[in-house]
Amino acid sequence: MDKLVINGGGRLKGPVEISGAKNAALPIMAASLLAEGPSTIRRVPELADIRSMTDLLGDLGVSVTRSADGALRLNVEDEGCHHAQYDRVRKMRASVCVLGPLLAKRRAARVSMPGGCAIGSRPVDLHLRGLEALGAEIDLDGGDIVAHAKKLTGAEVFLGGPFGSTVLGTANVMMAAALAEGQTMIESAACEPEIADLANYLNAMGARISGAGTPRLVIDGVEELTGVEHEVIPDRIEVGTFMIAAALTNGEITLRHARIDHMMAVVDKLREIGVVIEREDGGAVVSSARRLEPVDVTTQPYPGFPTDLQAQLMSLLCLADGNSAVTEKVFPDRFMHVAELLRMGANIRKEGPTTIVTGVKRLIGAPVMASDLRASAALVLAGLVARGTTTVQRVYHIDRGYEHIESKLRSIGADIQRVSD
């Protein structure tokens, strides 16, 4: 198993090219199940999760090939199978977003029920309620969601849950409604840029979706969707992670191919901390003031501060000058990184869904264990600034969502090596 060995202390300086967004690419790949004819998707990052989705789509009769310029070509060759098996879904929860397309196109889907994971319990009740509203019959059998629909019909669907809307639930219902008969209105839809990107892809294929990026989506069903070319939006979580790397190391990082307009809550919070973010065409230059101010931050659905950057921001706040409060309102149990940061000398106290982070003078390198994708990014960030050597174990988590992380960091001056056990 690989680990990352980081010698902290270096100042990171230079340009970083941001990859396409994993969380946009995954549902877009699933949406290719709906298409007649091939689609070409550009800027799909090379990641373990993308390979998992490629394998799953392969099971479902879709050929997926990567061309020399990095684009993915997806073409449905066989519509005979509608079963997403446990072994696939267990590796990646986002597999659940084949449910809507299978139901809409093949009129049947059997998708293993995703379990919980290191960031907490992750129910899919809202996905199922939305698809039922469109006319699907859904049962649970042997741990699988079994869904049938002779016909899907447009309906009014409310997707708000106890923690706000649902990103992949919105994707599932939107994809199913694109081929339903009549009009669907989704109220309390997820507003994330990745959902808007999916809607843009579907509209290019011939769908009639309006309101993407707002809480109300109106979808007029069409009879057929045709494969097209599409470029995935830049990964805003990768952008935020590198912004925090610049802030932590007193560095100056130029982010290229970044959509800063997709991350105003992050920019606002980092500026409050004292990070200097200068927008420029197609990206930004990020540098840090020597003094980091403490802040209070609450994660929320988009356009609020993203839960997928909560762990990384906490690494930064560990070195702020005072007390910060970090409250998680999307996944209240997403704090597995706290215990590992404590091993590096952080001062963090957890009280329910809030943690109080008291800034310390320095973090100290240590062997630490990654528990999930974003937690592992937080530990790498902490390692970049810690005194001495940090070894991040279980690095396969980071490979799920950060493309070429160590070579990108090395290219701007980090001392980071991947080592195989």
* Cβ-based neighbours of 238, under 8 Å, separated by 6 or more: 18, 19, 21, 402, 403
| 122 lines the binding site for ligand EPU (CB under 6 A) | yes
Sheet holding 323-327, edge to edge: 296-298, 323-327, 354-358, 347-351
User: Which residue, 173 or 205, has its beta carbon nearer to ligand EPU?
Assistant: 173
User: Which residue, 167 or 392, has its beta carbon nearer to ligand EPU?
Assistant: 167
| Four-point Cα dihedral 374, 173, 206, 219, nearest 10 | -120
Query: Active-site residue among 81, 97, 117, 191?
Result: 117
- Shortest distance in whole angstroms from residue 371 CB to ligand EPU: 12
Considering only 4, 94, 98, 246, the residue that binds ligand EPU (CB under 6 A) is 94
Catalytic-residue membership of 117: yes
Considering only 163, 274, 294, 345, the residue that binds ligand EPU (CB under 6 A) is 163
User: Which residue, 167 or 316, has its beta carbon nearer to ligand EPU?
Assistant: 167
Cα atoms in the Cβ-side hemisphere of radius 13 Å centred on 218:
2
Sheet holding 389-393, edge to edge: 367-369, 389-393, 2-7, 415-420
| 330 lines the binding site for ligand EPU (CB under 6 A) | yes
| 86 lines the binding site for ligand EPU (CB under 6 A) | no
Cβ-in-10-Å burial (0-12, 13-18, 19+) of 62 comes to buried
Considering only 12, 26, 133, 232, the residue that binds ligand EPU (CB under 6 A) is 26
Strand-pairing partners, residue 7, are 389, 415
| 166 lines the binding site for ligand EPU (CB under 6 A) | yes
Q: Is the dihedral of CA 234, 263, 124, 297 positive or negative?
A: positive
| 331 lines the binding site for ligand EPU (CB under 6 A) | yes
Cα–Cα distance, 416 to 147 (Å, whole number)? 47
- Shortest distance in whole angstroms from residue 379 CB to ligand EPU: 14
- Shortest distance in whole angstroms from residue 324 CB to ligand EPU: 21
Helix, strand, coil tally for the chain in percent (to 5): 35, 30, 35
DSSP 56-88: HHHHTTEEEEE-TTS-EEEEE------EE-HHH
- Shortest distance in whole angstroms from residue 162 CB to ligand EPU: 6
Considering only 57, 62, 74, 124, the residue that binds ligand EPU (CB under 6 A) is 124
β 35-36/225-226 pair status? parallel
User: Which residue, 386 or 395, has its beta carbon nearer to ligand EPU?
Assistant: 395
Listed residue (365, 419, 410, 370) closest to 389, CA to CA: 365
- Shortest distance in whole angstroms from residue 123 CB to ligand EPU: 4
Binding marks (x or -) toward ligand EPU, 30..69, rule CB under 6 A? ----------------------------------------
| 91 lines the binding site for ligand EPU (CB under 6 A) | no
Binding marks (x or -) toward ligand EPU, 223..262, rule CB under 6 A? ----------------------------------------
Which phi and psi angles does 196 have, rounded to 5°?
A: -65, -35
- Shortest distance in whole angstroms from residue 313 CB to ligand EPU: 14
Site residues for ligand EPU, 66-85, by CB under 6 A, read: none
Please identify which residue in the block is written with the tokens 């969707």.
225
| 158 lines the binding site for ligand EPU (CB under 6 A) | no
Cα–Cα distance, 395 to 235 (Å, whole number)? 20
Site residues for ligand EPU, 387-406, by CB under 6 A, read: 401
Cα–Cα distance, 77 to 213 (Å, whole number)? 32
Q: Which of these ranges, 167-175, 358-366, 382-390, 407-415, lies near ligand EPU under the rule CB under 6 A?
A: 167-175
User: Which residue, 123 or 367, has its beta carbon nearer to ligand EPU?
Assistant: 123
DSSP-assigned letter for residue 99: H
Residue 74 near residue 57 (C-beta atoms within 8 A): yes
User: Which residue, 170 or 288, has its beta carbon nearer to ligand EPU?
Assistant: 170
Q: Is the peptide bond before 303 cis (omega within 30 degrees of 0)?
A: yes
Considering only 38, 169, 227, 240, the residue that binds ligand EPU (CB under 6 A) is 169
- Binding interface with ligand EPU (CB under 6 A): 23, 26, 93-94, 122-127, 161-163, 166-169, 307-308, 330-331, 373-374, 401
**Any idea which residues carry the catalytic annotation?**
117
